[in-house]
């Protein structure tokens, strides 16, 4: 009896070894997953740390960094908890840094920035997913899963126009044989409903049929298919038409029209951002000159007058060359960086400062006393414009990252919002002096939709215009916008000059012309 028990124990031990082997195999496969993730990120961080600014200048890289830090690292941590628990160093490192990680709102914001760029610069989803952006050779790509997540972000926001563009791209890459976590059925599920929401029943039916073929037990798909077919038949009967099969052409930019939004001049504004529709005629060009400007023999400029170029004739916009040196620019950026915060706008109804989707940048205000450089720049602006900066606002420094923009707006306060600058007691913003502190690889122009001008950033140069006529009335033609940055990072600083103190420097006049 004892002997047979011993024999059983031998087999039990064999069984234990076997289950230990299975455990090792399972852990090794988990470890292999962690290893391949680490290898992928090793290669990636080698590239990103070699030139962080250059890396983040590409919109796809910026989006994927947000997504990795908000979603993917946490997923890795949850899935591989038991392995990572053996490594307290990693876990505590994650906890320390997690407070600085982007959150869900940041990731969604980065996805929406890509969609904003897609609209403004008329780029299809493939241009982003394959990294084929104007003037950029990059190996930044979006996978099937990335494109699906982009589509889902739009879908959850009831933005079916963009959902279709991104889900279609996910489907195309999957059909082309790319590996993915997401299933074809899931993509078809979201895509068919989004296409239906865009009012394209024939294509919604075709996509739902594909879904039913892949997954016949999909309950909602079957119900949707019957509903779509009945709806289409009803529509055809009402319009007395025959059934037309959907186009074989894949859905692309322009297949569906983009929904209208709050901005009346959206189309002309975006065209100018692309460099289209600029109203620069030969006659106008012949009225533009360049000159040396000494600020009416200002002592600061007598020995070294500044180069002034006309950018536009009416309203008169000028550009000054070599206004800021590279050293001054670096110093201003260094002073502003610790203080950069999401830029705000004043709510015209309540007068309260809030963040808004139409102004996406980070800004900081710098005082003249903070550093001799700021004081020097303020004095230079005064010498060049002949206007006092005593009553001007502080120098505002702004950084527009990828997708950063400021949609069409006025710098001056209008009749319907009389209290905007009341607390300053310095009157309205009479003029704007804008310094470009970086070159921008693509996008980022300053455009004036009213008269069709586009001014492109050139590092070290500045542009200047008056917002008010001599009569004190606002010049409504000066409505302008900062186009979204497509590739690169745009740094500007600006000085808003106010009316008080200019009484003898720019005397009043009754005319509406300058």
Please report which residue ranges of 198-265 form alpha helices under DSSP H: 201-214, 219-239
Tell me how far the alpha carbon of residue 171 is from its chain's centroid.
25
- In angstroms, the Cα distances linking 65 to 70, 72, 185, 247, 298 are 8, 10, 28, 37, 50
Using CB atoms within 10 A of its CB, is residue 372 exposed (0-12), middle (13-18) or buried (19+)?
exposed
Strands in 453-455's sheet, in edge-to-edge order, are 359-360, 405-409, 480-482, 446-448, 453-455
CA distance 345 to 399: 15
Please report which residue ranges of 99-180 form alpha helices under DSSP H: 104-120, 125-129, 144-156, 160-175
Based on its alpha-carbon atoms, the radius of gyration of the chain, rounded to whole angstroms, reads: 30
CA distance 386 to 375: 16
Q: CB count, 10 Å around CB of 66?
A: 21
Helices and strands (DSSP H and E) totals, the chain: 18, 18
CA distance 84 to 34: 10
Q: What is the pLDDT along the chain (514 residues), one digit of tens a residue?
A: 667 788 888 889 899 999 999 988 988 888 888 888 889 889 889 989 999 988 889 999 999 999 999 988 887 777 666 666 667 777 778 778 888 888 898 899 999 999 999 999 999 999 999 888 876 667 789 999 999 999 999 999 999 999 999 999 999 999 999 999 999 999 999 999 999 999 999 999 999 999 999 999 888 888 888 888 898 888 888 888 877 777 777 888 888 989 888 888 999 999 999 999 999 999 999 999 999 999 999 999 999 999 999 999 999 999 999 999 999 999 999 999 999 887 777 666 666 777 767 667 889 999 999 999 999 999 999 999 999 999 999 999 999 988 889 999 999 998 777 667 777 889 999 999 999 999 999 999 999 999 999 999 999 999 999 999 999 999 999 999 999 999 999 999 999 999 999 999 999 987 665 5
Name the pairing type of β-strands 485-487 and 395-400. unpaired
- 407-433 burial by CB neighbour count: b if 16+ within 10 A, else e? bbeebbbeeeeeebbeeeebbbbbbbb
């Amino acid at each position: 009896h004892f002997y047979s028990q011993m024999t059983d124990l031998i087999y039990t031990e064999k069984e234990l070894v076997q289950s230990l082997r299975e455990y090792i195999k399972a852990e090794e496969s988990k470890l292999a997953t962690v290893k391949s993730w680490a290898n992928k990120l090793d290669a990636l961080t080698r590239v990103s740390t070699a030139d962080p600014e250059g890396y983040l200048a590409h919109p796809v890289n910026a989006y994927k960094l947000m997504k990795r830090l908000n979603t993917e690292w946490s997923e890795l941590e949850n899935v591989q908890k038991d392995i990572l628990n053996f490594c307290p160093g990693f876990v505590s490192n994650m906890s320390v840094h997690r407070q600085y990680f982007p959150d869900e709102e940041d990731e969604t914001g980065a996805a929406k920035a890509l969609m904003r760029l897609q609209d403004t610069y008329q780029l299809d989803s493939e241009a982003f997913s394959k990294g084929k952006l104007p003037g950029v050779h990059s190996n930044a790509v979006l996978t099937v899963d990335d494109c699906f997540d982009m589509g889902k972000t739009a879908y959850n926001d009831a933005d079916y126009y963009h959902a279709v563009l991104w889900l279609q791209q996910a489907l195309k890459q999957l059909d082309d044989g790319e590996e993915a976590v997401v299933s074809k059925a899931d993509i078809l599920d979201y895509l068919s409903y989004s296409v239906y929401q865009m009012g394209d029943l024939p294509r919604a039916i075709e996509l739902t049929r594909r879904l039913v073929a892949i997954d016949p037990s999909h309950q909602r798909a079957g119900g949707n298919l019957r509903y779509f077919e009945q709806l289409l038949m009803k529509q055809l009967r009402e319009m007395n038409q025959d059934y037309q099969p959907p186009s074989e052409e894949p859905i692309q930019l322009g297949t569906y029209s983009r929904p209208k939004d709050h901005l009346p001049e959206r189309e002309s504004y975006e065209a100018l951002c692309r460099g289209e529709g600029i109203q620069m005629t030969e006659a106008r060009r012949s009225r533009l000159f360049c000159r040396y400007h000494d600020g009416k023999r200002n002592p600061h400029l007598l020995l070294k007058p500044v180069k002034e170029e006309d950018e536009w004739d009416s309203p008169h916009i000028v550009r000054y060359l070599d206004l800021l040196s590279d050293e001054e620019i670096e110093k201003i950026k260094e002073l502003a960086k610790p203080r950069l915060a999401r830029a705000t706008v004043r709510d015209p109804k309540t007068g309260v400062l809030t963040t808004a989707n139409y102004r996406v940048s980070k800004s900081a205000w710098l005082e003249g006393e903070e550093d001799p450089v700021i004081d020097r720049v303020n004095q230079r602006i005064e010498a060049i414009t002949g206007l006092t900066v005593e009553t001007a606002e502080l120098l505002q420094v702004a950084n527009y990252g990828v997708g950063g923009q400021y949609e069409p707006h006025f710098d001056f306060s209008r009749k319907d919002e009389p209290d905007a600058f009341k607390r300053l007691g310095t009157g309205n913003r009479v003029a704007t002096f804008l310094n470009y502190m970086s070159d921008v690889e693509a996008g980022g122009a300053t455009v004036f939709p009213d008269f069709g001008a586009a001014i492109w950033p050139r590092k070290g140069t500045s542009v200047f215009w008056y917002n008010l006529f001599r009569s004190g009335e606002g010049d409504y033609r000066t409505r302008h916008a900062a186009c979204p940055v497509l590739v690169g990072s745009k740094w500007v600083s600006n000085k808003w000059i106010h009316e008080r103190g200019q009484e003898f420097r720019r005397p009043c006049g009754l005319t509406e012309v300058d």
